[in-house]
Amino acid sequence: MFKMTYNEMLEQLRKICAYYFFEKDFDENMIQILNKFSDLNADEFAKKYESKTDEFIHKIANHVDGNRGESIKLINHAPEEILATLIYRLMTFVSYCNENPQKQYTLLEGTNSQLVIECLINFWHHYNQESPLI
């Protein structure tokens, strides 16, 4: 078991995303994708695509301990709705970390894949409960 602060988790997640998720033009593409869905209620949209996004994150997590090419390929071929939901989760996690940088979190493993699952799936589900455990 590994203990990390949310600030430490955020720093590590940034490194993982920069290497395994994003290519050069990713930021520009993400802005375009998010703009397509800007008229929708973000929470309802995220809930609608929750299970498909969880599934997608698990697929990516299988590659973040070493296979950048496969994770980039998954990102490049993902439906825009899933990418928009993934970005919304990232933004939610970043916001929470910025508000609670020193709060402790316990990870079962110290792998990149476990960190991605904790930050983008488990955190998301706890955050959206009425009485979150985070």
* pLDDT per position as a tens digit, 62-88: 988 888 888 888 988 999 899 889 988
- Is a pLDDT exceeding 90 seen at residue 20? no
Q: What angle do CA 26, 20, 24 make, to 5 degrees?
A: 30
88 is written with which tokens?
Answer: 């919304």
- pTM confidence score: 0.84
- The Cα 45–Cα 47 span in angstroms is 5
Mean pLDDT for the chain overall: 84
Rg (CA), the chain: 14
Q: Is 116 left (phi over 0), alpha (psi -120 to 50) or beta?
A: alpha
pLDDT interval class at 26 (50, 70, 90):
low
pLDDT digits (tens, 9 = 90+) for 88-114: 888 889 899 999 999 998 888 778 899
Q: Residue 117: its pLDDT value, please?
A: 92
State the average pLDDT over residues 4-10. Answer: 91
CA distances from 119 to 28, 29, 103, 109, 131 (A): 23, 22, 14, 13, 18
